[in-house]
Chains A and B, each alone.
Chain A
Amino acid sequence: MASYTFKGGIHIPNPYPVKEPEVRQVAPPEQAVLLLQQRVGGEASPCVKIGDRVLTGQVIAKTTSKYPTHVHASVSGVISAIEKRPIPHPSGIEAMCIVIDSDGKDEWIEIEKCDKDFSRCTPEKVIQRIREAGIVGMGGAGFPTHAKISNAQGTHTLIVNATECEPGIMCDDALMQHYPREVIRGAEVLMHACGAKKAIIAIEDDKQEACNSLLMYNFNDQIDVVQIPTKYTSGAEKLLIKTLLDIEIPAGEFASDHGVLCQNIGTVKAIYDAVIDNKPLISRIVTVTGSAVQEPRNYEARLGTSFAAVVAQSNPNNNPHHIRMGGMMMGIDVPNVEHSICKITNCIFVNNVIPAPEVQSCIRCGQCNTVCPVGLLPQQLFWYAKSENTDRAMDYNLGACIECRCCDVVCPSHIPLAQYFFFAKALHHKRTVDQQRTDMARERFEFKEFRIERNKKERAEMMAKKKEELKKKMAQDKTQKDKIAQAAARVKNKESSER
């Protein structure tokens, strides 16, 4: 039986709570910067030129490979640039973006009338529509949804992840309160697409309003709305499956191997828009919160809207800010607000800059292993990561670390443990690859040596054989010569006797 909870994890109350998570609509931006890079599978290639006029919802970059999805114009206007821009990434890396200067009309492409009754479409057709709408996992991971569903054929249970366990993020909470009907219908579409007979919508028990609104619209007895204890990392896919279904997915296997499909609730709403309304994914709900804003709030903004435009509406103070995209636990720090909202931007933290607490020595207090949701011993891992002893760290199951940073939070010495583990994993990977290369090079070298040796031997054998043959031949020749000589002698004798 499902336990509805899991070992470890930490309860962190929302640091900047609001009474009611409203959603404020943000006007389409004057300029939209749309990212072509996707989580997996490379960039989509632009199918428009600079100067082209595009309409809202029009495909502006296409792809033919399996993973990436199309990119759609989020405003109507003129393409003003196709160039590299900084993308939300801790390294400040740049990637190809399409920039649209809005004409302010927000003119949509003609949306084909489609069959509202999705059950008459085949699952393949539904997945196709999801793909064409450019939907990716909206919880933050950004994995292409169509690929995830295609991989999950034969699913018995669909889990809609509405836990929103990262403290501070409120966009899913708001989504459920504003679009409960869409979410339930979206779940039905998804069940149809993956063939699941049962769906569970999992919500943390601090979101009572959201839960109530879903229950009000849920008339499908195949869909359960379940509340689970509010505890950070409850939304991690494998932990959630364990919590709800008591299935522990072994390391190296996927949920789809066990007949489970997990989808974020924002993705489910996007699927509803795509399949029922035939609308591509061009907007999303974003939470703006943090210590430097006076009004933490949710915004529904077009993709490509700059962070600055939404942050400004939350009244940030004038101090220097520390910007973070995603949750305060697993989000990524970005240098400034000169970024644009993309499909995975669920939250923007605007914090006052505070000096990081001083790191002290690890006293092996073991607080970290009581909160590790996957049962690791971070203090041991830290020890081996610090000394770059990656083999030993792997013995202690470094590979199972989900980098949730629970250990960082409770560490009394403020050690950035997860960063060490991240580094150690990368180092281990590099060493493994290097080792493989070395092994390969050695094998190649050894084979070359062997081949040279073999050739030498073969040649020697061949030479010996040839020599033998030559000798034989020479011997034969000799007997022949002898015979000729004898014959000649005989002739001579005869001649002389005849004379």
Chain B
Amino acid sequence: MIAAFNSTSQIMRQVIVALILGIGAAYTFFGWGIIVQIVLAVLVAIVVEAGFLKIRKHPIKPSIADGSAVLTGFLLAISIPSIAPWWVIVVGVSFAIIFGKQLYGGLGNNPFNPAMLGYAFLLISYPLQMTTWAGEFVNFSQALDVIFNLNPVDALSGATRLDDVKTQLALGKMMSELNAHSNAQAWINMGFLLGGLYLLARRVIFWHIPSAFLLGIAVSAFLLSIGGSEYYLPVQNHLMLGGTMLGAFFIATDPVTASTTPKGRLIYGFLMGVLVVVIRSFGGYPDGVAFAVLLMNIMVPLIDYYTQPKVFGK
């Protein structure tokens, strides 16, 4: 009867569609690992969600159909190293769905981004598996071998550029001696950036959070590089390495856990960007998107309360 607006399932579907470019870039550089991880993650997400709904005596079909569990699977599978053993993604997705979402009452009631909660859980629990990244293109059989432990292939592994830079800086090297650029990372980030622009164009997400997030990263990285260009990553590398673009357009914009007022979204995104740079520069982990997201999730009720828009006639 009324012109069709996006439905919740459509929103989730479009987000998944928008991920394709980034996933494609990751596939181009690092091979089949990411595909296998995604398939595994989605299967586990659906099974765990359905199982838990059954225990909670909730209708199963509508919740699966809303696509949120599948999206969580996608995001977590993209975030972890593509050659991580199979149980990593299984444990991570289960944790994300059960502790990140269902225990709070299901979709819409969770204070934390489930995928990032799962990621943080994995990173803290299994640091070795979570920092061993593919170093080169992995073909299908290699991917199966390494993920299902059929045949450990150490030769495939490497560190990410952020990790590498962090280690080198800790060893006393100067920024000017390092190559902070990574073609693969730049392309993957580019893919997610384009996907994000697609979401903006389809009005699935609002511009506030991604732009404030990127601005937060840029401003704080710029200030740090003024202070010590030999010790900190330059702005362009911050923007094009690690989970920046995925975070900006796909993670930070998770509507359930983000701020919902226009002003609040700007504050939420900006502070998250600052936190990412702070964690990358001074923290113990090479990347900081997941922790920044979780920390800002806690702030949301406060931000929302103090940034209510002006009500007509008040």
With A369-B260, A377-B308, A400-B312 given, can you name 8 additional A-B contacts, CB distance below 8 Å? A249-B313, A251-B311, A358-B62, A361-B8, A361-B106, A361-B109, A370-B262, A397-B314
Ranked nearest first, the 10 interchain pairs of A and B with the lowest CB-CB distance are A361-B108, A374-B312, A365-B255, A251-B313, A366-B260, A361-B107, A412-B8, A397-B311, A375-B309, A413-B8
B314 pairs with A367, CB closer than 8 A = no
A336 contacts chain B at the CB level, 8 A cutoff: no
Number of interface residues of A (CB under 8 A): 44
The proximity string for B residues 85-113 relative to A, scoring 1 for CB distances below 8 Å and 0 otherwise, is: 00000000000000000000011110000
B304 contacts chain A at the CB level, 8 A cutoff: yes
Interface positions of B (Cβ within 8 A of A): 1-3, 5-11, 62, 66, 68, 106-109, 206, 255-256, 258, 260-262, 265, 304, 308-314
A320 contacts chain B at the CB level, 8 A cutoff: no
B255 in complex: contacting residue of A15, A358, A366, A380, CB < 8 Å: A366
| Chain B residues in 8 Å Cβ range of A409 | 2, 5
Distance A98 CA – B91 CA, assembled complex (angstroms): 73
A400 in complex: contacting residue of B2, B109, B314, CB < 8 Å: B314
Which residues of chain A from 220 to 268 have a CB within 8 Å of any chain B CB?
A: 238-239, 242, 248-253
B260 in complex: contacting residue of A239, A357, A358, A364, CB < 8 Å: A364
A373 pairs with B312, CB closer than 8 A = yes
| Chain B residues in 8 Å Cβ range of A370 | 206, 262
Q: DSSP majority for the B interface?
A: loop
A354 pairs with B260, CB closer than 8 A = no
Which residues of chain A from 320 to 356 have a CB within 8 Å of any chain B CB?
A: 328, 351, 354
A364 pairs with B108, CB closer than 8 A = yes
How near does chain B come to A166, taking the closest CB pair, in angstroms? 12
Using known A-B contacts A328-B1, A400-B314, determine if residue A412 contacts B260 with beta carbons closer than 8 Å.
Answer: no
Q: DSSP majority for the A interface?
A: loop
| Chain B residues in 8 Å Cβ range of A400 | 311-314
A238 pairs with B312, CB closer than 8 A = yes
| Chain B residues in 8 Å Cβ range of A375 | 309-312
Q: Can you report 27 residue pairs joining A to B where beta carbons are below 8 Å apart?
A: A15-B2, A242-B312, A249-B313, A251-B312, A251-B314, A357-B7, A360-B7, A360-B9, A361-B109, A363-B107, A363-B255, A364-B255, A366-B265, A370-B262, A374-B311, A374-B312, A374-B313, A375-B310, A376-B311, A377-B260, A396-B308, A400-B311, A409-B5, A412-B8, A412-B10, A412-B11, A414-B7
| Chain B residues in 8 Å Cβ range of A374 | 311-313
Most buried by A among B6, B8, B62, B106: B8
Closest to B253 in A: A365
Distance A211 CA – B106 CA, assembled complex (angstroms): 52
A360 pairs with B8, CB closer than 8 A = yes
A369 pairs with B309, CB closer than 8 A = yes
Using known A-B contacts A363-B11, A373-B312, A380-B260, determine if residue A12 contacts B2 with beta carbons closer than 8 Å.
Answer: yes
| Chain A residues in 8 Å Cβ range of B8 | 360-361, 363, 365, 412-413
| Chain B residues in 8 Å Cβ range of A15 | 1-2
Interface positions of A (Cβ within 8 A of B): 12-13, 15, 238-239, 242, 248-253, 291, 328, 351, 354, 357-358, 360-367, 369-370, 373-377, 379-380, 396-397, 400, 409-414
| Chain B residues in 8 Å Cβ range of A351 | 1
Distance A201 CA – B260 CA, assembled complex (angstroms): 37
| Chain B residues in 8 Å Cβ range of A252 | 313
Distance A409 CA – B3 CA, assembled complex (angstroms): 9
Distance A151 CA – B246 CA, assembled complex (angstroms): 59
How near does chain A come to B313, taking the closest CB pair, in angstroms? 4
| Chain A residues in 8 Å Cβ range of B261 | 366, 369, 377
Distance A249 CA – B313 CA, assembled complex (angstroms): 6
Distance A447 CA – B211 CA, assembled complex (angstroms): 63
Using known A-B contacts A15-B2, A364-B108, determine if residue A413 contacts B309 with beta carbons closer than 8 Å.
Answer: no
B3 pairs with A12, CB closer than 8 A = yes
Closest to B310 in A: A375
A366 in complex: contacting residue of B3, B10, B206, CB < 8 Å: B206
Distance A171 CA – B102 CA, assembled complex (angstroms): 50
| Chain A residues in 8 Å Cβ range of B66 | 360-361
| Chain A residues in 8 Å Cβ range of B6 | 367, 412
| Chain B residues in 8 Å Cβ range of A367 | 5-6
Closest to B313 in A: A251
Closest to A349 in B: B1
Closest to A322 in B: B1
| Chain B residues in 8 Å Cβ range of A291 | 1
How near does chain B come to A168, taking the closest CB pair, in angstroms? 9
Distance A452 CA – B265 CA, assembled complex (angstroms): 61
Closest to B206 in A: A366
